[in-house]
Amino acid sequence: MTVITRFAPSPTGHLHVGNIRAALHNWLWARKSGGQFLLRLDDTDLERSRPEYADSIRADLTWLGLHWDGEEKQSDRFALYEARFEALKASGHVYPAYETSQELDLRRKILLGRGLPPVYDRAALSLTAAQIAAYEAEGRTPHWRFKLDHDQPIVWTDLIRGDQRFDPKLLSDPVIRRADGSWLYMLPSVIDDIAMGVTHVLRGEDHVSNTATQIQMFTALGAPLPAFAHEALLTGSEGKLSKRLGSLGVAHFREIGLEAMSVASLLARLGSSQPIEPFAAMQPLIDSFDFAHFGRAPARFDEGELATLNQKIVHLLSYDAVADRLPVGVDAAAWAAIRPNLETVAGVADWWRIVTGPVDAPPPAEEDRDFLAAAHRILADAPFDADIWRTLTGALKDETGRKGKTLFLPLRRALTGLDHGPDMGQLLPLIGKDGALARLRR
């Protein structure tokens, strides 16, 4: 069996971190299994779906490195839905209902007021021909419901949640088509999963009850069931569901300078028993992905943890991996010198300005003036090579008796304007002899 997974966002907005995690896990499972990862744009909501959102989804997946093997749009598949819908009508698996939304809402409130589950009572199945004619004379057109089979419990073994069991009598027959003829999510998704050969449906635990009803749709359409996996939803670092998670997406991550691999490294294992580690490439995440590692405990997303992970990944990146994003003049030696001090790759520009100057150094303390004058004299006469920092500080230590902080800090301040930064043994050769002499003289 060829494993086929799918990511099926609605192009009615931008992807958020929860969507990205679902897409990543589907992609990882397909790649580990040597299968296919498909993108399906669930754009049956023609009023809210926008081409720019579809473009944004594609761009986000591309930035994350989640390249898909095929793409479908539900808006191109209405003829298929119509054909399957007619087949379900013929087999008695769907039925028309004429209640208005206000009437249904009132019934739900009455049931809740009695302490009962707000399950649809199937009143539409008892309508007489005269009642239907009366409704149609009022100008009502029916919406359509899928008729659940109440005779058998709905069971499946979830790849994350284990054995699942639902009593269909406690579920409402789902509305699959509105009175205006437009489709809701449930049935088109099943029809597409069948047609696209999807073998694994991986999504959030908020879809568990949807899966229960969709399982009966697969059966009604005579199709084998895919495997299902429902993962715990993300929560904020404080342990509660966070509205902010709904606004965090690729645009935000890129804006603050994060690496795509930092996002992937965190989200790939978030909610699993595996340690979250910095990875500079996808292959280790592919090789280690396993549904057995995921549990039902809340998956806590922490932006601070993501920032720390990003810093570690930046420190792993080779020059070749970032060369096209570096300021003009930054070569492999400069990258090696600056990299340990970076939180993001974009931060290299700030350190490169320290190298190229000019530097706004604070006035030296009175007791450091003669010391810096000696440094200028020694540097002027010394051979300027890769060991120049060791040569300079060694000669100054011998001449002045200074050591430790009193030796190194005045030099760093004069040469960089800062009290901290990249290793001076690597930085001073980048500044150059003339630049260093000018800074010491000033």
Radius of gyration of the chain (CA): 32
Q: For 289-335, how does the pLDDT look when each residue is reduced to its tens digit (9 = 90+)?
A: 999 999 999 889 999 999 999 999 999 999 999 999 999 999 999 99
- Mean pLDDT of all residues in 404-427: 95
So where are the chain's domains?
Answer: 1-76+232-316, 89-177, 319-356, 366-441
Residue 427 is which amino acid? L
Cα dihedral 389/390/395/397 (nearest 10): 100
The overall average pLDDT reported for the chain is 95
- Residue 433 is labelled as binding a ligand: no
Residue with the bigger pLDDT between 242 and 12: it is 12
Q: What is the predicted pLDDT for the residue at 241?
A: 58
CATH code 1.10.10.350 for 366-441: yes
| Confidence check: pLDDT of 238 > 70 | no
**Distances from the Cα of 74 to the Cα of 11, 46, 191, 209, 249, angstroms:** 11, 10, 10, 22, 24
Dihedral, CA of residue 329, residue 335, residue 339 and residue 341, to nearest 10: -50
Mean pLDDT of 20-34: 97
Per residue, the 3-state secondary structure of 287-329, as one string, reads HHCCHHHECCCCEECCHHHHHHHHHHHHCCCCHHHHHHHCCCC
Percent of the chain past pLDDT 90, that is, above it, reads 93
| pLDDT value for 1 | 84
pLDDT band at 248 (very low <50, low <70, confident <90, very high): confident
* Domain with residues 1-76+232-316, CATH architecture: 3-Layer(aba) Sandwich (3.40)
CB-based burial label for 304 (10 Å; 0-12, 13-18, 19+): exposed
Note whether 130 and 98 are within 8 A (CB).
Answer: no
The CA distance from 175 to 162, in Å, is 28
What confidence tens digit (pLDDT) does each residue in 146-166 have?
A: 999 999 999 999 999 999 999
What pLDDT is recorded for position 294?
96
Angle, vertex CA 79, rays to CA 78 and CA 83, nearest 5: 115
**pLDDT higher than threshold 80 for residue 364:** yes
Handedness of CA 51, 54, 56, 62 (dihedral sign): negative
CATH 3.40.50.1220 at 89-177, yes or no: no
Same fold: 89-177 with 366-441: no
Q: Are 241 and 301 a contacting pair, CB within 8 Å? A: no
Q: Give me the residue label for tokens 């399982």.
A: 215
In this prediction, residue 43 has a pLDDT band, given cuts at 50, 70 and 90, of: very high
If you search the block for the tokens 């191109």, which residue do you land on?
Answer: 76
